[in-house]
């Protein structure tokens, strides 16, 4: 029951805020997909060419991934039943963690229900009052929220600016016994890549009290010869203390993970509240993740990655030809248009042409940088990219 004050209720601010969002072009609503993720999706019975999924390798609908999930449901049922430390740990959870650790070349790994919870669980368990977190200005919301909730002091450094990071550390490092540099690997709406080797070198100059963490959610499966992510891409065998990733991007499923030393994982099992107090992900999600890892690390995964990068190179040339001059560093390609309404109108224009390309607006991106966010996949064909480029000519 709401309590009235005069002619308004305590919940009247909700209506007011929704009105403000709509007037500013920032109101959001879901598009309902009626079939499996893929190059084409069905909306209200109509087929649309989709450029907004993070299913970079097309594994969400892969027959082997679906079959693995079906077999696991038949054997284990759907839900895990409890949190991991009560009775929710299934043998598939442990198998998946073993395979993630092998894949990421770490001693151990820990699976969380989502990538958001993996970041929250790791940062809040490791850092607290009296500690310092150094955070890239464009880090994902889950890292920002985790940093704030940890209670640690936060210093934000300019995006991908290692000189600025070094400057902050020189100024404040003597004030803290424990520090954490945390960055996205691939930035989720800009699509550019963090200078991880330089970050590692900077951290090492300030001693062992500086830990490093990389959110490799959008790099896992996509970068590196074996799809192991940005550390493989850069040839880094050590220097990153905490690797975070997800099962929900190139692996085509749901869940997040943290990989590192055995001691780190044991610590998180005992200290990470999102892990301790949340029901485990379904065993079938683990089975799907295990199959996705096999595919990513095998010949088929290599072929899909090559097709994905061919698509990236093709679209980069096409965008340049129509006046969007940019360097494509990942399958995430931002077309910055400026004000929210312009991005929203562009997205609607493309939608009318059966092209699904989302408008990304504040607070997801800074004011004045609203954009179309294009996500490419290995399963896009050249003719799909040509249709997209034709649509983008209109909204230029």
Look at residues 297, 312, 337 and tell me which one is the last residue of a structural domain.
Answer: 297
188 among known catalytic residues: yes
Q: Is there a domain that residue 28 lies in?
A: no
Asked if residue 11 is part of any domain, the answer here is no
If asked whether residues 179 and 289 sit together in one domain, one would say: yes
Q: How confident is the model at residue 5 (pLDDT cuts 50, 70, 90)?
A: low
Q: Are residues 95 and 192 in the same domain?
A: yes
Mean pLDDT of the chain: 95
Question: Is 249 labeled as catalytic in the residue annotation?
Answer: yes
Q: Kindly state whether residues 369 and 255 are assigned to the same domain.
A: no
pLDDT digits (tens, 9 = 90+) for 183-237: 999 999 999 999 999 999 999 999 999 999 999 999 999 999 999 999 999 999 8
- Which of 274, 297, 320 marks a domain boundary? 297
Q: Is the pLDDT of residue 50 over 50?
A: yes
Domain that holds residue 259: 63-297
Residues 341 and 363 in one domain: yes
pLDDT at 2: 47
- Write down the catalytic residue from 62, 249, 380, 384: 249
Rounded Cα distance between 77 and 321, Å, is: 52
Predicted local distance difference test score (pLDDT) of residue 22: 86
Q: In whole angstroms, what is the distance from residue 156 CA to residue 168 CA?
A: 9
Instruction: Please check whether residues 191 and 318 belong to one and the same domain.
Output: no
Q: How far is CA 181 from CA 61, 190, 198, 241, in A?
A: 36, 20, 12, 10
Residue 164 lies in a domain: yes
Same domain, 278 and 348: no
Q: Is residue 324, in this structure, part of any structural domain at all?
A: yes
Looking at the structure, tell me whether residues 278 and 133 fall in a common domain: yes
Q: Can you give the CATH number for the domain in which 39 is found?
A: 3.90.1150.10
Q: Are 101 and 107 in contact (CB under 8 A)?
A: yes
Question: CA 40 from chain center: how many Å?
Answer: 22
Is there a single domain that holds both residue 193 and residue 239? yes
**The CATH number of the domain where 261 resides is what?**
3.40.640.10
- Which of 297, 325, 355 is the last residue before a domain boundary? 297
| 16 occurs within a structural domain | no
**pTM for this predicted structure:** 0.93
For residue 360, tell me if it sits in a domain.
yes
- Catalytic residue, chosen from 93, 104, 140, 218, is 218
Q: Is residue 289 domain-shared with residue 310, that is, in the same domain? A: no
- pLDDT of residue 161 exceeding 90: yes
Catalytic one among 150, 188, 272, 347? 188
Q: Is residue 42 part of a domain?
A: yes
274 shares a domain with 325: no
- 91 and 130 both lie in a single domain: yes
Query: What's the average model confidence in pLDDT over 331-356?
Result: 95
Domain co-membership, 287 together with 345: no
- The answer to whether residues 241 and 210 touch, using CB atoms and an 8 Å cutoff, is no
> Is the confidence at residue 4, as pLDDT, over 60?
no
Domain assignment of residue 23, yes or no: no
Domain total of the chain:
2
Q: Which region holds residue 229: left if phi is over 0, alpha if psi is between -120 and 50, else beta?
A: left
CA distance 355 to 130: 49
Q: In which band, very low, low, confident or very high, does the pLDDT at 169 lie, cut at 50, 70 and 90?
A: very high
């Amino acid at each position: 029951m709401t309590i009235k004050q005069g002619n308004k209720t305590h919940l009247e601010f909700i209506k007011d805020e929704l009105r403000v969002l709509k007037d500013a072009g920032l109101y959001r609503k879901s598009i309902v997909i009626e079939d499996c993720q893929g190059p084409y999706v069905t909306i209200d019975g109509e087929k649309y060419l989709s450029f907004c999924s993070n299913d970079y390798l097309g594994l969400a609908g892969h027959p082997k991934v679906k079959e693995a999930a079906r077999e696991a449901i038949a054997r284990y049922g759907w839900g895990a039943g409890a949190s991991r430390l009560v009775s929710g740990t299934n043998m598939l959870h442990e198998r998946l963690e073993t395979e993630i650790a092998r894949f990421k070349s770490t001693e151990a790994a820990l699976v969380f229900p989502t990538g958001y919870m993996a970041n929250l669980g790791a940062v809040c368990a490791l850092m607290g009052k009296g500690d310092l977190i150094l955070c890239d200005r464009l880090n994902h919301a889950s890292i920002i929220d985790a940093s704030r909730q940890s209670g640690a002091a936060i210093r934000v450094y300019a995006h991908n600016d290692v000189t600025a990071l070094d400057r902050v550390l020189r100024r404040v490092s003597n004030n803290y016994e424990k520090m954490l540099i945390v960055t996205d690997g691939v930035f989720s709406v800009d699509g550019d890549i963090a200078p991880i080797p330089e970050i590692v070198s900077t951290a090492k100059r300030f001693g062992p009290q500086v830990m490093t963490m990389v959110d490799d959610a959008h790099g896992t499966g996509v970068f590196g010869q074996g799809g192991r992510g940005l550390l493989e891409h850069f040839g880094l065998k050590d220097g990153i203390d905490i690797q975070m990733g997800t099962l929900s991007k190139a692996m085509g499923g749901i869940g997040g993970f943290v990989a590192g030393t055995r001691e780190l994982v044991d610590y998180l099992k005992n200290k990470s509240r999102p892990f301790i107090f949340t029901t485990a992900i379904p065993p079938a999600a683990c089975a799907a993740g295990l199959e996705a890892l096999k595919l990513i690390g095998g010949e088929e995964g290599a072929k899909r990655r090559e097709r994905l990068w061919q698509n990236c190179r093709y679209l980069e040339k096409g965008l340049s030809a129509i006046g969007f001059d940019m360097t494509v560093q990942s399958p995430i390609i931002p077309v910055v248009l400026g004000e929210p309404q312009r991005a929203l109108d562009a997205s609607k224009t493309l939608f009318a042409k059966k092209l699904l390309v989302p408008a990304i607006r504040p607070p997801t991106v800074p004011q004045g940088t609203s954009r179309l966010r294009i996500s490419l996949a290995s399963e896009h064909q050249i003719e799909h990219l040509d249709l997209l480029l034709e649509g983008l000519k209109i909204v230029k």
